[in-house]
Structure 1
Amino acid sequence: MMYNTQKNNKLYAIIFCCLLTACQKPPVVVDDNSSKDTVVKSKPQQPEFNAEITPIALQQSSCDNRRCAEFSIAHLISNQKFIDQTLEQATLDLLKQKLDLRFVDETTANDLSTPNQGNSLSFNEQVQRCADAFFQLDQAFNQVNSNMHASFVIQVERQSHVGNLVTIVLKAHDFLGGAHASNGEYYFIFDLAKKQQLTLESILLPNQKNALKALLYTQFKDWVLAEKLADQVENYEQAWPFKVSHNFYFNEKGLVLQYNEYDIAPYAMGAPSFIIPYAQLEGILQPQFLPTQH
């Protein structure tokens, strides 16, 4: 009898445990993503632009203690060949534009008269030919005035690298006789992704060149009157007509259009520039060239 009672008690205990287990809620499975590797999307890196700027080694004429002509040309060499070639072409164009070949020997004159694209000489060799022409010009000047110090200097400066855009400026200074020296700044903006130089037309929306011209002309008129260059802008433009500069760059304020000496003003006014604020360029400038906030 006692055996049956113990047996029944064990049976009741088993049934009770089964009922208790059945009444319990199933465990909640928590998906803990913290233990998994998180994939972070990295921002696209801007293309690399590595450049070295050095003066070109040239054979130069000797000078005495009284006078010494200066001829110095900087050369940019980078990991972007299309930029190097564009700047080399611009440098040669500046040199050939300035040098007066009437005072140069026939061989040097012929070398400098050959278009750059068809010239078999390297860039450094062509610059050396320009140096030869410069020193021949200097000798001609010396016969007129022994105290004259001729000079020709081109510097290359890396101005900025923002995103895909790299801005380089060539700064030229020369004195080749005359009343005064000449200075100029020439800006180049390169798109590293597209491997091309930006032009004024390429940064504008379609059919917006006249809109930009109108904004620029307003600043030009205000400048003429503020500088007291004339009582009437129309009278001033008879001698110095307005024109749109294709020499430009971007800064934190807007689009800068740079002029050089004698472009729109006499020498005494230097090299004027005008800044079109970004806020005025909405609907005119391609959206990718507008800052997110302005």
Structure 2
Amino acid sequence: MNAIRFAAAALLLGAALLFACTGKKTDLPADTAPASQSAAPVVDFVQFEIYRYDQDFGECPQDSARCARVSIGYPLAQTGPQQVMSQINTTLLRTVCSLIPTFEEENGGKVSVGTNIPRTAMKFGNAFEVLQKQAPEETLGWVVEIEGQVLFQNERVASIGFDCYSFTGGAHPNSFTQLLNFDLKTGKPLTWQDLLLDEEALKTLAESRFKQARKLPENADLTREGFFWDGAFVLPENFAFTEQGLLFHYNPYEVAAYALGPTRFTIPYAELEGLVRLEAVR
């Protein structure tokens, strides 16, 4: 009878532990996404989930001047073919880590970008503590805020956007956007070279839309207006698929001074026929 009672209690305890482990998702502190459970059904369609990492360094919250804060929201693929998920998530984690200033080079170290967010955030915190020791008169805290989201997704491609804000002293904070596009069949990041059919025609169209976004006349000289210092119009480093069309985003400092801010516009897909490959969004 005691053996039966013990077995029943063990079963109940096991069930409770199973519910406790699966009833709530915890944010990822590791450098890679969790592997799919072996018993879980195989899902071909890639789906994303947002995770968070928040960490304070220094004397938070007692003294904001001696405080460095890191706050990050980032999407990771949670279903889909394992190899595709792994490639996507490695790229996403490496991107997030690259957006966290670590000042390794300034402090005599070798710059290395990994995929471990807590470890990279610790480098940020350590750099702040070094500054506090070297210049205790500093009266401004540091902050890094990164918010990622899925901008667009269908069964073939996904576009991920990261809005980034950081302040580590100086005349002003830094704000910029990082856009990533993925082939969901392979997990490969997509670049302009994967899409371009007629680069020169696309540049002509994009230059016209750039001027519209900046409320400049069609015959305006962009260099004289303070853009594209070397005189040549270039496509932005960041672009993304959206429901409305292809999003073009130029960050501060990319083609103009910080004071002019970012430039952002969307060109409908119908106007991009013959200029870029659109099979993935049809």
RMSD between superposed Cα atoms in Å = 3.0
Q: 218, 224, 228: which is aligned to 1:235? A: 224
Consecutive unaligned residues of structure 2, counting only runs of 5 or more, are 1-42, 79-84
* CA displacement, residues 5-60 of structure 1 (integer Å, 9 cap, x when unaligned): xxxxxxxxxxxxxxxxxxxxxxxxxxxxxxxxxxxxxxxx971314241215x572
Alpha-carbon shift at residue 243 of structure 1 (Å) = 2.2
Letter of the structure 1 residue corresponding to residue 127 of structure 2:
A
Of Structure 1 and Structure 2, the greater helix share is in 1
Give the 3-state SS of the residue equivalent to 1:125 in structure 2: helix
Letter of the structure 1 residue corresponding to residue 224 of structure 2:
N
> How many residues in Structure 1 have an aligned counterpart in Structure 2?
229
User: Structure 2 CA distance, aligned partners of 1:273 and 1:151?
Assistant: 25
User: Structure 2 CA distance, aligned partners of 1:92 and 1:251?
Assistant: 25
Larger Rg: 1
Partner of 1:60: 57
Alpha-carbon shift at residue 103 of structure 1 (Å) = 6.0
Letter of the structure 2 residue corresponding to residue 279 of structure 1:
A
Identical amino acids, percent of aligned pairs: 24
Give the 3-state SS of the residue equivalent to 2:182 in structure 1: strand
Partner of 2:47: 49
User: Structure 2 CA distance, aligned partners of 1:289 and 1:50?
Assistant: 18
Alpha-carbon shift at residue 234 of structure 1 (Å) = 4.3
Given the superposition, is the C-alpha separation of residues 250 and 287 from structure 1 closer, same or farther in structure 2, using an over 3 Å criterion?
closer
Partner of 2:254: 263
Partner of 1:159: 151
2:164 corresponds to 1:172: yes
Consecutive unaligned residues of structure 1, counting only runs of 5 or more, are 1-44
User: Structure 1 CA distance, aligned partners of 2:244 and 2:116?
Assistant: 40
Give the 3-state SS of the residue equivalent to 1:220 in structure 2: helix
Cα pair 1:261 1:267 within 8 Å, conserved? yes
User: Structure 2 CA distance, aligned partners of 1:192 and 1:258?
Assistant: 22
Q: 207, 216, 226: which is aligned to 2:206? A: 216
Letter of the structure 1 residue corresponding to residue 181 of structure 2:
I
User: Structure 2 CA distance, aligned partners of 1:246 and 1:184?
Assistant: 12
Give the 3-state SS of the residue equivalent to 1:196 in structure 2: coil
Give the 3-state SS of the residue equivalent to 1:212 in structure 2: helix
Alpha-carbon shift at residue 267 of structure 1 (Å) = 2.3
Given the superposition, is the C-alpha separation of residues 124 and 214 from structure 1 closer, same or farther in structure 2, using an over 3 Å criterion?
same
TM-score of the pair, normalised by structure 2: 0.69
Alpha-carbon shift at residue 160 of structure 1 (Å) = 2.8
Alpha-carbon shift at residue 239 of structure 1 (Å) = 3.9
User: Structure 1 CA distance, aligned partners of 2:189 and 2:174?
Assistant: 26
**Counterparts in 2 of 1:8-19, with a 5 A limit?**
none
Of Structure 1 and Structure 2, the greater strand share is in 2
Cα pair 2:50 2:149 within 8 Å, conserved? no
Which of 1 and 2 has higher RCO (CA within 8 Å, sep 6+)? Answer: 2
Cα pair 1:99 1:134 within 8 Å, conserved? no
User: Structure 1 CA distance, aligned partners of 2:242 and 2:230?
Assistant: 27
* CA displacement, residues 245-275 of structure 1 (integer Å, 9 cap, x when unaligned): 1311122322111111122223233211122
Partner of 2:69: 70
